[in-house]
Amino acid sequence: MFRLQRKSPTALPAIARRWFGNTTPARALPKPSLNFKHFRDNLEHIEKNIVSRNLRSVNVRQVVNLYDKFCDLTQEINHLRSQRNDKVKEIGKLGKEAKTKAGQVLLEAAKVIKEALKEKETSFEELEKQLYKLALSIPNDTHPEAPVGEEKNAKVVKVVGEPRKEDWKLKDHVELARSLDLIDLEAAAEVTGSSWYYLKNAGALLEIGLIQYAMAKAMSKGFTPVITPDVVKLDVAHCCGYQPRDNEATQIYSLNSDETADSTHQLCLTGTAEIPLAGLMSNKIIPEEKLPVKLVGFGRAFRAEAGARGADTKGLYRVHQFSKVELFTFAKPEDSNRMLEEIRALEEEIFTDLGLCFRILDMPTEELGASAYRKYDMEAWMPGRNGWGEISSTSNCTDYQSRRLNIRYRSEASSNSKSKKPNALEFVHTLNGTACAIPRMIISILEQYQTEEGHVVVPKVLRPFLGGLEVIKPQGA
């Protein structure tokens, strides 16, 4: 585990405090606004959804039972508080007579109520923690058209282009990149470890060019550029749905000097810019006229588990750190399905303009993350794998993240809407999609654009971002 040693602001030299100011203290996120009534009223439907996602450890029935106890205990506490307040008023009315026998009886009764209330409140705190811990494991609902089951049940929505076949042997990206001096895996293994890498020469230019191209493309569609922090609070990551499935190792790199700290103060490296982009609006109210809010963020993604050895992890395919351009949208509930298709269309345009052969999949229930209501994956043809490899993922998370991060919008008065109250606060829907995951994109370009001579033709749309470079050749060639 990586650890980040953090010092108190008072330990900073005076000159540093003068320049950088006082640090803002960490604030706990508000309590998630979970819809327990929905859990109780739709118990069987939610259980079926959990089964279809293959989440054996999630028990919504236990959550409902705990919630019933929670409600009963809340009533008991409120009743005791009412009794306590009544006794306080009675004692106040006695004035000087409070020391009389009648007054002492009231004081004793108030003391008994106070002790009973304290005991109930302690039980309440423990029950509430247990309730929310279990309830937060319940996944989002699932779109009725999503395929059911494991990955092989994914529905092919569209195929763009034809998988490349040649009379001569196509090389994989590792062989190409080494011959063109674009990567150094061995040096990275010495410096950091396995599944890390250096990009060099035109390899480094490809990363920079792809980032600029994807950002520019998204901005042309109305997305606002954001550079995100690569470190977030652990509870923000959890609120976004990033927690391991049953019996799976965590993907999160934790950063903390105190391993006993709770998630309010624990830090972690981001697994995707989706997390800080979602957190950007946490605990905020967005005016309805500002929706949808469309963001395109650039950040580094860190994944603790890079997987076992084999073709699936060779070279740049599955690594611990990579650059990524992420699309993120906050939308009104009635617009989120349309926004999902808009994000998907933008990604399709990015990959089509790059001249890639790829396919679009409607992903089945067992492949959905906890937050995803519906998810599309895009896979490029990778000759080195002689198969398809994921290059993008796009999800509609409905109100899963906004309920946990307290992101709402204030609806305007509308003569066309009888279901909404003017100025009512409602939770937004959040959506995310990968505009460009750099290593996978480099793999796709190297393998799909290679020549028989071992060179790589640069896609036309990328050339302006690579100083006009048209063909990547060995140095000196």
Q: How many whole angstroms separate alpha carbon 457 and alpha carbon 459?
A: 6
Determine if residue 195 is labeled as part of a ligand binding site.
Answer: no
Determine if residue 320 is labeled as part of a ligand binding site.
Answer: yes
Q: Which of 412, 407, 433 is nearest to 423 (CA)?
A: 412
Q: Which of 207, 177, 169, 154 is nearest to 383 (CA)?
A: 169
Determine if residue 272 is labeled as part of a ligand binding site.
Answer: yes
Q: Report the Cα 261 to chain-centroid distance in Å.
A: 22
Determine if residue 305 is labeled as part of a ligand binding site.
Answer: yes
pLDDT value for 3? 42
Determine if residue 142 is labeled as part of a ligand binding site.
Answer: no
Determine if residue 321 is labeled as part of a ligand binding site.
Answer: yes
pLDDT value for 29? 75
Q: What single letter denotes the amino acid at residue 268?
A: C
Write down all domains in the chain, each with its CATH number in brackets. 36-137 (1.10.287.40), 151-472 (3.30.930.10)
Helix ranges restricted to H, 23-59: 36-41, 43-52
**With 0-12 CB in 10 A as exposed, 13-18 as middle and 19+ as buried, what is 415?**
exposed
Residue partners of 22: CB distance under 8 A and separation at least 6: 9
Q: How far apart are the first and last CA of the chain?
A: 44
Determine if residue 177 is labeled as part of a ligand binding site.
Answer: no
Determine if residue 447 is labeled as part of a ligand binding site.
Answer: no
Determine if residue 119 is labeled as part of a ligand binding site.
Answer: no
For residue 227, the tally of other CB atoms under 10 A from its CB is 11
pLDDT value for 252? 87
pLDDT value for 156? 98
Q: How many whole angstroms separate alpha carbon 340 and alpha carbon 325?
A: 17
Q: How many whole angstroms separate alpha carbon 178 and alpha carbon 119?
A: 68
pLDDT value for 183? 97
DSSP 450: B
Determine if residue 45 is labeled as part of a ligand binding site.
Answer: no
Determine if residue 231 is labeled as part of a ligand binding site.
Answer: no
pLDDT value for 244? 67
Determine if residue 348 is labeled as part of a ligand binding site.
Answer: no
Determine if residue 143 is labeled as part of a ligand binding site.
Answer: no
Structure tokens at 370: 């906890």
Determine if residue 322 is labeled as part of a ligand binding site.
Answer: yes
DSSP 194-246: TT--EE-THHHHHHHHHHHHHHHHHHHTTPEEEEPPSEEEHHHHHHTT----T
Using only the alpha carbons of the chain, give its radius of gyration.
28
pLDDT value for 9? 39
pLDDT value for 346? 98
pLDDT tens for each residue of the chain, 477 residues long? 334 333 343 433 443 343 334 445 556 677 899 999 999 999 999 999 999 999 989 999 999 999 999 999 999 999 999 988 887 787 777 666 656 666 677 778 888 989 999 999 999 999 999 999 999 999 999 999 999 999 999 999 999 999 999 999 999 999 999 999 999 999 999 999 999 999 999 999 999 999 999 999 999 999 999 999 999 999 999 999 987 665 555 788 988 756 555 656 789 999 999 999 999 999 999 999 999 999 999 999 999 875 545 556 789 999 999 999 999 999 999 999 999 999 999 999 999 999 999 999 999 999 999 999 999 999 999 999 999 999 999 999 999 999 999 999 998 754 444 555 667 899 999 999 999 999 999 999 999 999 999 999 999 999 999 999 999 999 876
Q: How many whole angstroms separate alpha carbon 347 and alpha carbon 359?
A: 11
Cross-sheet strand order for the sheet of 224-227: 155-160, 358-362, 374-382, 387-396, 429-437, 321-331, 293-302, 224-227
